[in-house]
Amino acid sequence: MKKSELILFDKIITHSNDVIEIVLSSIENGNDLLLTYFNQHCFNVYWEDKNYKKNINDNFTVYLDGYGLYFVLKYIFYKKSEKFNASEINSEILKYLITSKKKVIIIGGRFTDEIINTNALKVEHYFNGYEDTENIDQMIEIIKSLKTKIIIIGMGVPLQEKIAFELSKRINGLQIICVGNFLEFYFGTIKRAPKFLHNSGFEWVFRLLTEPRRLWKRYLIGIPVFIFRVLIMKFRH
């Protein structure tokens, strides 16, 4: 087994309470934080993209997301793991931010001002995930001018992690949380699967049916490839 693979599976957080504790502690104490999730799709990107692999291994706090990684950690690496997903974690984090009235910066998506300004979350500044992120130097200057240190990035893997690391290098004391497409669920622009599917291992079927053009390759090809690669890892192990 490759050393880089062992680094990831040794460091990945397997229980939801531990993730929440790290986030809340970092925010309350003003500690630097780079947090992201890791699921079946992330695994395939990690396998193929050396820059993403190095970034995850060297810089990020990582937690498991979804049934695929739960299965791998429990039955391949024999690690005690809780079955949970990133959306549950992100929901808890946002509840905390809302109740504690913390200001946040959001990066990602293409949401209207009405959507951003009419939710309970206190958004200090919003950068859409397309035009506003093309000039990262300008984005960094705007963030530096604000006192807000909590940044939520929802842009998909591996771009969100690349931007998150760049921000962390150039601005001290940030708590950066990568959330993928959770913002779409949160703001209601994309419908999420019914709750009974969330940790069943079949939420991907609902997502495929609702977004077939965007997700067919990720699931219909990505899942068999993921299984094959896990078997390779098992053989190495």
Query: Domains in the chain: how many in total?
Result: 1
- Is 48 among the domain residues? yes
- Is 188 among the domain residues? no
pTM: predicted TM-score of the whole model, two decimal places:
0.91
pLDDT at 7 over 90: no
The residue range of the domain holding 14 is 3-182+193-236
198-212 mean pLDDT: 73
pLDDT at 72 over 60: yes
- Is 187 among the domain residues? no
The CATH number linked to 220 is 3.40.50.10700
Angle at 159 between CA 155 and CA 165, to 5 degrees: 105
- Is 42 among the domain residues? yes
Task: For residue range 106-161, list pLDDT tens digits in order.
Answer: 999 999 989 998 889 999 999 999 899 999 999 999 999 998 999 999 998 999 99
Least confidently predicted of 55-59, 201-205, 218-222: 201-205
